[in-house]
Structure formats: structure tokens, C-alpha cells
Chain A
Amino acid sequence: MTAAGLARMLPGLATVDLIESEDIGIVGVGEATLPHIRGFVESLGIDEAAFMKATHATYKLGIDFRDFGRIGESYIHPFGSFGEEVAGVGFHHYWLELQRQGLAGEIGEYSLAVAAARANRFTPPAGDSSLASTYGYAYQFDATLFGPFMRDFGIGIGVTRHEGLVVDVERDGASGNVTALVLKDGRRIEGDLFIDCSGFRSLLLGGALEEEWEDWTHWLPCDRAAAMPCTHASDDIRPYTTATAMPAGWRWQIPLQHRMGNGYVFSSAHISEDEACEAIRHSAEGKPLADPRILRFRPGRRRRSWSHNVVGVGLASGFLEPLESTSIYLAQMAITYLIELFPDGGAIDPRDRDEFNRLVDMEYDRVRDFLILHYNATTRDDSEFWNHVRTMTVPDSLADKLELWQRAGRIEKYADGLFYDASWIAVYVGQGMLPRRHDSRVTLADPMRVRNALERLRQEIGTQVSAMPGHRDYLMSEAARLADAA
């Protein structure tokens, strides 16, 4: 992604060398993304259909969270809104009031994205400001195909690829900057700027530069994943990712065109790797296509993502578990900020480095609080893991958000970073954390009129969803463009 992004966005300003080794595999999981990925694909000039076909991608309208707030309950966090505000008061306040009176359905019934997801249907959103425009979508794709696709695209626009393993990192004694990477066969690759996309190993940033790591395990205790693909169990392909809470973490199901990705993200302090592998084998809906593989990680981030002349992108700079599909987003934002702050003529200005680190930190911190909410907003007391996350002390920044919600039904507003009102409302309400009070103005309106308006919205959503094709049908009817016929 980084090589392709730099080559496309800064042609003529930098030559890009990509060093990778066939000996290091790509983590073979389905990868779920956020709607931002569409902007990335588009700005590279890649045709969406070609991209989807090459990566066996499906559409994604949100994430279905099961058993998080309470066993047996589920909700969808959609890429879309719930209803509309009325007279300056957010929809959820009216919904809370009607719900108290027993006059409202589930909040998801007032979201087109949720209703379409539940019905396994998909069509792209409208470009106007109608109800059909109130959602977005992302992709679910095969990471083992996505990497090579981006690599080949990058090579096609001028990236030079070097096959080989990095065995040594040369640094300038005075500045500490990295000057060259030495490969196993003795080749030496020099550069002005080095981007560390080496994943958890963080070969340059964590390894050579020993950039300090800020550990977030005390808030996000999951540190392993057992990943395993399986066949589709039914003819339907879900246009959403499923996250199901487990006794020591949660498991994902990511539907691709040709198979389903599964994985159990767990805390090794609460369950062994063998037990996790057994659990993922046991829970797979389709026929396993491989043995489970264990991935090990540590949640947190480097204190500085850009240090000296090394920029960490993706897991090399930080890791947040994939509960909200943020990994590719965080990599994409780092690439975007790097392009904006790309060094002039090879010289790095410390002010640009500081600005980059400020922006990356802001992104990580905001995602972090939102992830912790999924664990903390629960009544589950059926395992040591859930007892721990339910009762742990959360960051102050999150504690204030929780209290503001509980006391007044309000969401702390910020304009940058991920996850706005609708996302917070989806998780709060979905996990059973209703506020104690909501906006006083909702009782000014005649409850029957509000109820009728909500009912009309629900019916209109139902009508529009009924008119959408099934997700699989949509992919197959456009197979020449979107789907891999195989």
C-alpha cells in the first residue's frame, strides 16, 4: 500500500524501492476494512471492479457484534446513520423516549445499512441526499491476494521490487539515521527515507532504532489470534463481518467470495493457544480449509511512529486488535499523512516529523477508546476474562465519554479521527448501555406523531431493502466485473 501510494501520489519526487521476501508469508486471513479504503483505491486510480475481482472481495455494510453486552444479544454497528435529527435534537433521543413508552423497535430497524445487512442484501448507496444515501460500504478481501495486487500495481507505476531478506541495518554514526539495508545475499539498498512495513517485527523502528513501545495490554488484554479459513456454509454471502464474543476474547467471520475467514482473538492469560485453536475449529460454520495458525501481538503503539528517517506504517508502528477493522485504516492514514508531510529534497524537518506523530497518535488514541468500550460496556460475568474487562479502570478520556452518555445521552464531539456519533450510539445501545436521561425536548412532540414518523421510516427502509438484490446475487450478476468466476 505504501509503495503504491508513494509512487502514485509523488511521481518524480521520489523513487520507491520495495524490499520483500517470498520466505515471509502474508497472514492468510480475510481482511475487513472501513469505507475509507474506497478513497484510497480510487485515488490510486484503481478500478473498483478490477480490485474486487482480484482480491475476491465482498461488500461490507458493518459489523454484527454477538454476545458482547450479554450472551444471546446481537447488534450491527453499521456504516450508516440511524434516522435523522428533528428540530436540532438527535434521532436517538426520540428513539429512547419511544422505546421507554414501548412504541419503538430496535434502533437498528431505523438504519438502512443494518436492515440491508440483516437481509443479506446489497446495492451501492445513492449519490443524492435521500434515504438511499444514508450508508456507506467497505470491502472484505483476501489479504493474501490484496498484498500481491498492491505490489503488482506499484511495480506497474514505477516501484522497484527487491526480493530478499533484510539481515542488517546500517546507520550513520553521527545522526543515527538509517543509511542502508543489507540483504541476505549481500546486496545493499540505500535510501533517504525508510518506511518500516515489516509488521509486528518492526525491523527498523522497533529493532534497529529501539523506539519505545507504549503497552495497552491492561486495557486490551487480547494478545493472540488463531486464524483458520473455511468454506461457506450456506449460499448466502453476508455483506458484513461478524464478531462473536468468546469466553477469552472474540472471534471473527469475514465472508469472501470463495470462502470464509475465521479467527479467535484471545488473551493468552486466560486461555491456551491449543484451546483457542480447538475453539475456532469447533466454531467454524463451514469445512476447514487449513489448520489454525497462531498470530501473536501486543496491543499498543510506538511512542514515535516516525523517528530519525524511519517511518513505521501499519503493525510496525502500532497494533490495535481487529475488533473494528481498523488495521488497514490506520495504515492508510499513516500513508496519507506521510504523503502530505513528505520530506523536501530528502531533508527531514523535525517539525514535519512531530506533526506526523501528533496525527498518528490522535488516530490511535481515538480508536483505542472505542475498542475498550466494546469490552467494558458489558454485563457478562461468565468468565475471568469478561470479569476483568468489565471491571477494569478505563482511560480518563473514555470514562468522561461514558459518563456524559449515561447522564445526558450525549456523545463527545470531535471532527477528526474515526468514529462519530452513530458508531458510539450503535455500541452503547447495542451493548445495553442506555443512558439514564435523554434530551428534554423530545417530549414536546406528540408521541403518536413521532411514532408514526418512525414507523414510516421503518417501512420505507423495508421497501428499499426488499428492492435490493441479494449480496451474492449482486456479486454474481456483475460477475464479469466484480466476482471471480472460479
Chain B
Amino acid sequence: MSEARERLRRIAIAGGGQLGILTAIALRRALPDAQVVVIGLPPDPAGFADRASTALPFTNRLHDRLKIDETQLVQRAGGSHRLVTRYFGWGDEDQVGEKQNGAMAYGATLDPQLRTRFAQEWGGGRSAGGGASPPGSLAEVLADAGRFAVPPGDVSTPIDQVDYALRWNMPAYREMLIAMAQQLGAQHVAGTMEALQPDGAGGLAAIAIAGQGLIEADLFIDCSGTQAHLLSALPEAKRQDWSAMLPVRRVLHAIPGEPMLALEDRFSLLPEGWLCEFAGRDGLQVTLALADGVSEDAALRALGAGPAGLVQMEPGCAQLPWCGNVIALGDAAASFEPLGFLNLDLAHRQLALLLEMLPGRTIEPLERAEYNRRALLMAQQVRDTLAVHYASPRARQVFGACELPPSLEAALDQFARRGRLPFRDEPALLVQEYMALLRALGFAEGTTPQSRSADQRSVEASRQAFAAQARAALEFTPPYQQFMQQALQPQPVASDLQY
């Protein structure tokens, strides 16, 4: 006869950044009778997940699950919406010397019928020497027109297949989370960690905090940033080094610019590295990831605004993010440059995995192994998604040749020759998103055998059906500014605490 496992009684979370607080909310929601203590630590400047002001659409789902109201996020934490990420200058120059640009939208991007050679040529794709992608993503159509609405979900609308990512003001978002965590009964302890007490079984028994005494717990969550203060102290902990595959070691932040309302963000490839321009209601944020050997002067010129700070980094991930009774999330589990808004997305997917596999008071070695198997796959998929940027035609000139992970080499080969991507477990992006990214980065796409023999009438029918969908979507959505004015109208506040 199967019995319920004994529940965790006390969980300590090291790190009071947005990830640590969100983890506290998630654990209090999952285990309302467990004590959850957040140990506030000084923020890690290289903690790109913990400092992120955006993630990917998965986060919206996690917010729903944790009852974090998106309307409140927009009203109280400077929230805004992104439909596409645009890539400038990553592809080779075309026949008239223009650099190839492209966009990656979320969710389903292209009707398979439109991915045929005929449609690509019709759309003025590579073979026609143009530069535009085939029109196949409603999100891109909306972004181009500057129109937006949140798909209501409960009734059918012309924008049901549109997905989006949220941006926010990180300090305001964190304050919002803190208020919710406090309401849910999570505790907070501030101070410096003085010592870690091992439990004799490969994990921890307690953390000594200056002036606060010992914090004992059944489970410790390490959200302490890239230093992974808890995990790295354990005998089993081992780090996987990604530095041969990911070339960036220095990231320069600019002083925020003017507020900007936009449905897109940008990654441009410059001779000095890549530049991220990130719109926000509180100000445009600009980040430059530097190629090796770029001088300070050149970097500052490329940044185009006053510098706010320089971050040094070493990319890599924990080989075993769960050792003993310590689980590392976010920057403590994998640290890498803020390219493609993947840092916090990965952290949130790790948190969801933890919730799925939440242990009892006694941890089973095999559940730890299963968590580690999946978490490592997740991290490696992110690594491959980053590495693909540096394998793009022009990035090699800027960053030099990097080692390609074998799994990525096979994927790029299949994309180039066959127009397909091998399926992988725990992918960082949907297959369609990944394909859109590769196109945006200027990789030439092969055609599938089916597309070469596709019936052109059905392709034309698909194209017309898409055009009709696009018209309906445009009619349904207001200009983004108008949408946002409406969204910022005060609305009755629902209780956060219904569970």
C-alpha cells in the first residue's frame, strides 16, 4: 500500500532577488504548512536571471499558476508586451550589399504550407534576393502594425494563436512579489552567511547567519547568483564549463534612456559585439556584450549612451544542480550572457520542474537523478540556443570561431540541407521559434522533400487563408498605445490569497 511522503517542514531559500521571492511564493502555495525562509543576500551584478526585466511566454503560464495577476503587473510594475525580437546584421550581406535582418516571433510562426520553396520565393525570400521573410506569423504582422491585445482565452478570437512575452520594471516587480510572499507567510532574514553546516549526507543541515543564528531546513534552494554559495560548497558539486562555446566575457550596461512603448526588442550585431535594445515604460535599456579584445573607447562608442556598469562573466552550468538537499535555480544553476532573454526563462522552467518533482522530507536519490537529468538537458538546450548566435555567418567574424556542441552541429546541418530540426527533449524554444531564430540570424534554410513537391494551389490557398487571418487580427486589435491606456485604468483588485 502506497503512503503519502512526509511533507517538507522547513525550506530555506538563499537569495532575495526576484527569483528567490518567486520561489518562496511557489513553495508557500505548494506547501502552505511549511516554513519558507528567504535569506536576503547582496545582489549579484552578474546574476542576469535575477536582474532580468523580461522572460519568455512560459513565465506568463507560471504567473497564472502562482496567481500572479498580469493586470497588476502591468499597472504596478511597469509591465509591457513583446511580440517579436528583431535581429539586425547577423546574416550575410545580400546581392545589393544590405545586411540580412530578421525577426523571431513567439508561438506558431508559419503554416507548414508556407514554408515551401514557392512561398519563400513569393515572399521575396533569400532566393529572390529580397530580405523579407514569408508572411506567416500573426505576431509579426501585429508588431509591424504596432497593434496588440491580450488574447482573452475564454472566447475564440482572431488572435488566439498569438503569444507574447512580458517586460517589467525589475525593482517594482520584486516589490510586488515581496508583498505577495509576505501575505502568504514567507519569512525573510537579512544578513551575511557566516558558515554552512553539512548534514553528513552530501547536503546541508543549517546556514549560520551573522546576528541571526542558525537557519535549519529540510531543503535548501540556492538562488544566490552565479557564485552558487550553497551548491558550490558541497562535495559533489561540479561545474560544466561553456567558455569554449560561448565567447562573451564582458557585458556593458548603459544608463537607461527615455521611456519607450514598443512590441519588439532588438539584438544588433556590431563590430564590437552584440547590442541589445530593450524597450520599457521606465526607459530604454541598452546592453553591449563585448567581443574579445574590444577597447573601452570602442565599447563606449558602440554603447551610444553613458555606461552604468561593466559585468565580467564565465559561462557554464552546474553538472548536478540538485546535490544532497540543495537545489540551485537560476544563475546558481547556469550562468550565461543575457542574449535572447533566456536567463530568467530558464530559471522559471527550473522552478516549474522543482514544483513538479517536489520531494518529501526524505529525498530519493533517483528523483534527484531524474531532476538533474532534465535540468541538465534544459541548460544544454539553452547553451545550444546561445551558441547558434555565434555560429551565424557574421558573428563568426566578430567573435571568432567557437566550438560547436555536437548536438548543435547536427541541428544546423539538418536545417541547412533539409529545412528541419531534430527534435530534442527539454528544448529552450519551440521548433517553429527555433527555425524563425535561425532564419533571423541569417542561416540559409534548406527545403523539405515535401515542400519541393507541394501542390502550388494548396500553397496559394494557405497564403490567402493567412492573409485573411492577418486582416482579422489587425481589425480585432487596437494600436498598442491605446491598449496600454486602457490597461492602465484602475481596476478592482482581486484577492491574491484565494487558494
Interface status of B355 (Cβ within 8 A of chain A): yes
Q: Does A339 contact B449, Cβ atoms closer than 8 Å?
A: yes
CA distance A416 to B449 in the complex (A): 22
Q: Does A438 contact B423, Cβ atoms closer than 8 Å?
A: no
CA distance A9 to B449 in the complex (A): 8
In the assembled complex, how far is the CB of residue B407 from the closest CB belonging to chain A, in whole angstroms? 11
Q: Does B418 contact A404, Cβ atoms closer than 8 Å?
A: no
Contact A440 to B7, CB < 8 A, known contacts A339-B449, A415-B425: yes
Interface status of B366 (Cβ within 8 A of chain A): yes
Contact A100 to B3, CB < 8 A, known contacts A352-B418, A441-B31, A444-B33: yes
Q: Does B374 contact A413, Cβ atoms closer than 8 Å?
A: yes
CA distance A437 to B364 in the complex (A): 10
Residues of B within 8 A of A440 (CB): 4-8, 31, 358-361
Residues of B within 8 A of A10 (CB): 449-450, 453
Contact A97 to B414, CB < 8 A, known contacts A413-B374, A440-B358: no
Residues of B within 8 A of A409 (CB): 2
Q: Does B414 contact A13, Cβ atoms closer than 8 Å?
A: no
Contact A434 to B367, CB < 8 A, known contacts A88-B65, A355-B422, A441-B31: no
Residues of A within 8 A of B370 (CB): 404, 410, 412-413
B408-448 contact mask (Cβ, 8 Å, vs A): 1 or 0 = 00100110011010110110000000000000000000001
In the assembled complex, how far is the CB of residue B147 from the closest CB belonging to chain A, in whole angstroms? 28
Q: Does A355 contact B453, Cβ atoms closer than 8 Å?
A: no
In B345-367, the 8 Å CB interface with A consists of 355-361, 364, 366-367
Within 8 Å by CB of A436, from B2, B32, B33, lies B2
Q: Does A88 contact B417, Cβ atoms closer than 8 Å?
A: no
Chain A interface residue count: which class? 35 or more
In the assembled complex, how far is the CB of residue B35 from the closest CB belonging to chain A, in whole angstroms? 15
Total interface residues on B, using CB and 8 Å?
A: 41
In the assembled complex, how far is the CB of residue A106 from the closest CB belonging to chain B, in whole angstroms? 15
In the assembled complex, how far is the CB of residue B100 from the closest CB belonging to chain A, in whole angstroms? 24
Beta-carbon nearest neighbor of B455 in chain A: A11
Interface status of A400 (Cβ within 8 A of chain B): yes
In A394-444, the 8 Å CB interface with B consists of 400, 403-404, 407-410, 412-416, 434-444
Q: Does A439 contact B5, Cβ atoms closer than 8 Å?
A: yes
State which of A255-263, A278-286, A288-296, A340-348 sits at the interface with chain B: A340-348
Contact A410 to B30, CB < 8 A, known contacts A10-B450, A404-B366: no
Interface status of B452 (Cβ within 8 A of chain A): yes
Q: Does A13 contact B417, Cβ atoms closer than 8 Å?
A: no
Interface status of B1 (Cβ within 8 A of chain A): yes
CA distance A10 to B451 in the complex (A): 8
Beta-carbon nearest neighbor of A341 in chain B: B418
Residues of A within 8 A of B4 (CB): 93, 97, 100, 437-440, 442-443
In the assembled complex, how far is the CB of residue B443 from the closest CB belonging to chain A, in whole angstroms? 16
Interface status of A449 (Cβ within 8 A of chain B): no
Q: Does B2 contact A87, Cβ atoms closer than 8 Å?
A: no
CA distance A269 to B458 in the complex (A): 56
CA distance A352 to B33 in the complex (A): 54
Beta-carbon nearest neighbor of A410 in chain B: B367
Contact A437 to B453, CB < 8 A, known contacts A87-B30, A407-B366, A415-B425: no
In the assembled complex, how far is the CB of residue A350 from the closest CB belonging to chain B, in whole angstroms? 11
CA distance A352 to B414 in the complex (A): 8
A4-15 contact mask (Cβ, 8 Å, vs B): 1 or 0 = 000001111100
Contact A349 to B417, CB < 8 A, known contacts A88-B355, A100-B3, A355-B422: yes
Q: Does A404 contact B367, Cβ atoms closer than 8 Å?
A: yes
Q: Does A441 contact B358, Cβ atoms closer than 8 Å?
A: yes
Residues of B within 8 A of A407 (CB): 364, 366-367
In the assembled complex, how far is the CB of residue B185 from the closest CB belonging to chain A, in whole angstroms? 15
Within 8 Å by CB of A437, from B2, B413, B449, B452, lies B2
Residues of A within 8 A of B452 (CB): 12-13
CA distance A137 to B498 in the complex (A): 39
CA distance A351 to B418 in the complex (A): 11
B210-240 contact mask (Cβ, 8 Å, vs A): 1 or 0 = 0000000000000000000000000000000
Beta-carbon nearest neighbor of A88 in chain B: B355
CA distance A408 to B365 in the complex (A): 10
Q: Does A441 contact B1, Cβ atoms closer than 8 Å?
A: no
Beta-carbon nearest neighbor of A342 in chain B: B449
Q: Does A408 contact B420, Cβ atoms closer than 8 Å?
A: no
Residues of A within 8 A of B358 (CB): 439-441
Residues of B within 8 A of A403 (CB): 366
Q: Does B453 contact A12, Cβ atoms closer than 8 Å?
A: yes
Interface status of A96 (Cβ within 8 A of chain B): yes
Q: Does B417 contact A344, Cβ atoms closer than 8 Å?
A: yes
In the assembled complex, how far is the CB of residue A99 from the closest CB belonging to chain B, in whole angstroms? 8
Residue among B4, B358, B367, B420 having the largest count of chain A Cβ atoms under 10 Å = B4
Residues of A within 8 A of B8 (CB): 440
Q: Does A339 contact B2, Cβ atoms closer than 8 Å?
A: no
Q: Does B410 contact A351, Cβ atoms closer than 8 Å?
A: yes
In the assembled complex, how far is the CB of residue A204 from the closest CB belonging to chain B, in whole angstroms? 22
CA distance A403 to B2 in the complex (A): 14
Beta-carbon nearest neighbor of A340 in chain B: B420
Q: Does B2 contact A408, Cβ atoms closer than 8 Å?
A: no
CA distance A400 to B364 in the complex (A): 12
Residues of B within 8 A of A93 (CB): 4
In the assembled complex, how far is the CB of residue B349 from the closest CB belonging to chain A, in whole angstroms? 13
List 25 A-B pairs, Cβ < 8 Å: A9-B453, A11-B453, A13-B453, A97-B4, A100-B2, A100-B3, A339-B449, A340-B420, A341-B418, A349-B417, A352-B418, A404-B364, A404-B370, A408-B367, A410-B370, A413-B370, A414-B425, A415-B426, A416-B423, A416-B425, A437-B360, A439-B4, A440-B359, A441-B30, A442-B4
Which positions in A face B, CB cutoff 8 Å?
A: 9-13, 87-88, 93, 96-97, 99-100, 339-342, 344, 349, 351-352, 355, 400, 403-404, 407-410, 412-416, 434-444
Which positions in B face A, CB cutoff 8 Å?
A: 1-8, 30-33, 65, 355-361, 364, 366-367, 369-370, 374, 410, 413-414, 417-418, 420, 422-423, 425-426, 448-450, 452-453
User: What would 15 more interface pairs be, CB under 8 Å, given A340-B418, A351-B410, A415-B423?
Assistant: A12-B453, A88-B356, A93-B4, A340-B420, A351-B414, A400-B366, A407-B367, A408-B359, A408-B366, A436-B2, A438-B3, A439-B358, A439-B360, A440-B4, A441-B7
